[in-house]
Amino acid sequence: MSHLPSLVFYAMSAALILTAIGVVTMRSVFYSAVSLVAALTVVAGLFLLYGADFLGAAQVLVYIGGIMIIMLFVVMLSQRPHDSMERQTNDQWFRALCLALVIGISLVRGFRIFINQMVSTVVPVPTSASLGRLLLGDMLLPFETVSLILLAALVGAVLFGQDKKS
Amino acid sequence: MTLYHGLALSGIVFSIGVYGVLTRRNVLGILMSIELMFNAANIALVVFNRYLHPGNLWGQGFVLFVITVAAAEAVVGLSLVLAIYRNLKSVYTENMNLLHG
Amino acid sequence: MFELGPALSHLFQVMRSFATSHGVSPVLAILISKIIQTNIIILLVSLVPMLLVYAERKVSAFMQARLGPMNVGPWGIFQTLADGIKLMFKEDVVPSGADWWVHFMAPVVAVAPVFVCYAPVPFGQGLTPVDLNTGVLFILSVSGISTIGILLGGWGSGNKYSMLGGLRAAAQLVSFEIPRVLSVVPVLMWYGSMSLRTIALAQQGRWFNIIPKWFIFYPVIGQVAFIVFLISSVAETNRTPFDIPEAESELVAGFHTEFGGMKFALFFLAEYAYVFLASAMATALFLGGGDGFLLPNGIIPSWIWFLLKTFAIVFLFLWFRWTYPRLRVDRLMQFCWKFLMPWSFVNIALAGALVLVRMR
């Protein structure tokens, strides 16, 4: 039973890798989007496993309840009847596969220096209050800058969404 | 379950995202693979915070900013895709070659 | 009188020690007791919508000067059971142009989050199934997953109009999530915690021995927050006056036109379970959840107070349906973005000012 966190971690990483492969290989882009929703839920679960409770809830709220809904909107609005017959991968798939394998294997080998870094004995504590103090304290400048970025994104989205009838 | 396992997972998902960005013909597929890469980076940030710096929460604060910026970028990208689709009637990248020499 | 919470935890402890003394390992005993508790919650979440459907039909009937279901059982109390049995035996028709897997997963994704969302709700003293530190945020974020189920339902119907209905429903749900989350922020600011049990417990006590210290009685911020939360919850659960996505007289049944039998029953169950969940949240956050009213605190147990207050708000939900006409979809969105959201921001600013005054 002391292996339970490891078992849960292995199960979640298997689910994440499977759904991620589903995102990049499925022929129907709608199925890719649904697979991405599943992958993001597993990532939220991983955040909870590592003790980031506020982040797990924020991930579900923002990514799944916001970004993925917009993505599903655009997928549903931009479908054409003969999409199921189109291939979804372009001609460079072999080179991309080699490059992805190189990046993946070098990352995994490179991180081996951390193989003996065990978890510290600090018990996970609720993070919401400390995150709030951090955001409005030490991280105030990035916080305000991100609000500017969001404003720019809002204006940009409204601008691109307008129908220019001349 | 050490730091290595969390980072290895993050690396694998990141490389799957790279494969997706380089391979998908559908612009929305590319955007979804970019979201995968963002999430791989988020996992790495949280894992580093938990194992190497358990005292403070800078990693998790940074993850909040990554999520926010990803949201902003997804919104702008998707409205661009919709505008392109309205004019071009297609979301496949081979047809978006108006600036081609 | 009869406090259920301590009695239940004592009962589970007795069962665990009985199992352990007869050779079951302690970890397995805890696991089995957790599984039994989870099943009790699932049973509760499945049975409450049955009660609510009957209540809706009776209340709407009495408001329309008629009697409602009277045939099945005394005053028709077994009507919902009969309806459930009928829906279970109906043939499951999937349209030929529709995607079978998406048609299958849509009701599942729409109804699964609501079972999980009932965990942090404090049903009384000692009756919180799981006292999460981020209870409010957890409920608000997980209930957003149901929107994906509605989008899947719209797509999986293989029908252009259902798809448009699904898109409109999802747009409405995503828009009204914002005033809903923002209206809860003053409560979190004032009580300094996101745990529903802590917030409900902190609202015990009286001012001048008469007025309860519930959040709804706080000057301006309590009332505005409660009203905005109530209105956005009515919109989030697709109830009239915001039920354009599933209006029967407008577009057959919107995104769930092509769903019959058990799948329709699941969508229905999800809607009523969310109504009860929203009322339970409003009770715990704004009405003191379990605190007595006018009677001293020992006579009626806290879980009966909680149920009474929750059913009062559910009655409000039902009352709205048969009083107000339906809002057109663009006026609905304007109402959200141009009225509810600015008022939630003003409310947060006022709550911040009050917190500052309290700190001095």
Phi (first) and psi of residue B26, to 5 degrees: -85, 130
Q: Is A57 on the interface with C (CB under 8 A)?
A: yes
Residues 275-334 of C with CB under 8 A from A: none
Inter-chain touch A23–B54, beta carbons under 8 Å? no
- Residues of chain C with Cβ-Cβ distance to A60 below 8 Å are 141-142, 144-145
Under 8 Å between Cβ of C162 and A76: no
- Residues of chain A with Cβ-Cβ distance to B54 below 8 Å are 120, 122
pLDDT confidence tier of residue A121, bands split at 50, 70 and 90 = low
Q: Is the pLDDT of residue B59 over 50?
A: yes
Residues 38-77 of A with CB under 8 A from B: 39-40, 43, 46-47, 50-52, 54-55, 58-59, 62-63, 66-67, 70-71, 73-75, 77
The distance of Cα C38 from the centroid of its chain, to the nearest Å, equals: 18
DSSP-derived letter for residue B92 is B
A vs C: CB pairs below 8 A? 66
Residues A4 and A70 in one domain: yes
Q: Residue A142 is part of which domain span? A: 125-166
Q: Is residue A92 part of a domain?
A: no
Under 8 Å between Cβ of A34 and C60: no
- Residues of chain C with Cβ-Cβ distance to A76 below 8 Å are 151, 154-155, 163, 166-167
The distance of Cα C327 from the centroid of its chain, to the nearest Å, equals: 22
Q: Is residue A35 part of a domain?
A: yes
Structure confidence at residue C156 (pLDDT): 85
Residues A4 and A64 in one domain: yes
pLDDT digits (tens, 9 = 90+) for A25-72: 998 899 999 999 999 999 999 999 988 899 999 999 999 999 999 999
Inter-chain touch C167–A34, beta carbons under 8 Å? no
Query: How confident is the model over C5-22, as a mean pLDDT?
Result: 83
Q: Is the pLDDT of residue C337 over 50?
A: yes
d(CA C115, CA A107): 40
Q: What percent of chain B has pLDDT over 70?
A: 99
CA dihedral C240, C342, C329, A34 (to 10 degrees): -90
pTM over 0.95: no
Residues A10 and A74 in one domain: yes
Query: How confident is the model over C181-191, as a mean pLDDT?
Result: 94
Q: Using the 3D structure, point to which of A80, A112, A134 is the last residue of a domain.
A: A80
The distance of Cα A99 from the centroid of its chain, to the nearest Å, equals: 21
Residues A67 and A135 in one domain: no
For all residues of chain C together, what is the average pLDDT? 87
Q: What percent of chain C has pLDDT over 90?
A: 40
- Hey, which of C200-204, C271-275, C325-329 has the most confident mean pLDDT? C271-275
What letter represents residue C238's amino acid?
Answer: N
pLDDT confidence tier of residue A114, bands split at 50, 70 and 90 = confident
pLDDT digits (tens, 9 = 90+) for C225-266: 999 999 999 998 888 777 776 665 455 556 677 787 888 889
Q: Is A32 on the interface with B (CB under 8 A)?
A: yes
d(CA B15, CA C328): 47
Structure confidence at residue B101 (pLDDT): 64
Residues 45-104 of C with CB under 8 A from A: 99, 102
- Residues of chain B with Cβ-Cβ distance to A139 below 8 Å are 58, 61
In chain A, which residue's Cα lies nearest the Cα of C137?
A: A57
d(CA A24, CA A88): 9
Q: Is residue A138 part of a domain?
A: yes
Inter-chain touch B68–A149, beta carbons under 8 Å? yes
What angle do helix axes C79-89 and C262-286 make, rounded to 10 degrees?
140
Q: Is the pLDDT of residue A122 over 70?
A: no
Structure confidence at residue C276 (pLDDT): 94
pLDDT confidence tier of residue C145, bands split at 50, 70 and 90 = very high
- Residues of chain C with Cβ-Cβ distance to A129 below 8 Å are 192
Å between C151 CA and nearest CA of chain A? 8
- Residues of chain C with Cβ-Cβ distance to A128 below 8 Å are 133-134, 137, 194
Å between A30 CA and nearest CA of chain C? 9
Q: Is A126 on the interface with B (CB under 8 A)?
A: no
Structure confidence at residue C355 (pLDDT): 93
Å between B52 CA and nearest CA of chain A? 8
Buried (b) or exposed (e) across A28-52, using 16+ Cβ within 10 A?
bbbbbbbbbbbbbbbbbbbbbbbbb
d(CA A98, CA A77): 34
DSSP-derived letter for residue C73 is S
Bridge partners, C211 (sequence order): C207
Q: Is residue A91 part of a domain?
A: no
DSSP string, B58-87: HHHHHHHHHHHHHHHHHHHHHHHHHHHHHH
- Chain B touches chain C, with at least 3 Cβ pairs below 8 Å, answer no
Q: Pick the more confident residue, C325 or C273.
A: C273
Residues A70 and A130 in one domain: no
Q: How many domains does chain A fold into?
A: 2
User: Which member of A24, A55, A120 has the closest CB to residue B46?
Assistant: A55
Q: Is residue A59 part of a domain?
A: yes
pLDDT digits (tens, 9 = 90+) for A88-111: 788 888 999 999 999 999 999 998
Query: How confident is the model over C136-160, as a mean pLDDT?
Result: 89
Least confident of B65-79, C140-154, C297-311: C297-311
Structure confidence at residue C248 (pLDDT): 53
DSSP string, chain A: -TTHHHHHHHHHHHHHHHHHHHHHH-SSHHHHHHHHHHHHHHHHHHHHHTT-HHHHHHIIIIIIIIIHHHHHHHHHHT--GGGGGS-SB-TTHHHHHHHHHHHHHHHHHHGGGGTT-PPPSPPP---HHHHHHHHHTTTHHHHHHHHHHHHHHHHHHHHHHS----
Inter-chain touch B64–A135, beta carbons under 8 Å? yes
Structure confidence at residue A166 (pLDDT): 43
For all residues of chain B together, what is the average pLDDT? 91
pLDDT digits (tens, 9 = 90+) for C96-128: 877 888 889 999 999 999 999 999 999 888 888
pLDDT digits (tens, 9 = 90+) for C41-68: 899 888 999 899 999 999 999 999 998 8
All domains in chain B, ordered by first residue: 3-94 (1.10.287.3510)
d(CA B32, CA A62): 15
- Residues of chain A with Cβ-Cβ distance to C177 below 8 Å are 65
Q: Is the pLDDT of residue B40 over 80?
A: yes
Q: Is the pLDDT of residue C129 over 50?
A: yes
Q: Is the pLDDT of residue B22 over 50?
A: yes
pLDDT confidence tier of residue C74, bands split at 50, 70 and 90 = confident
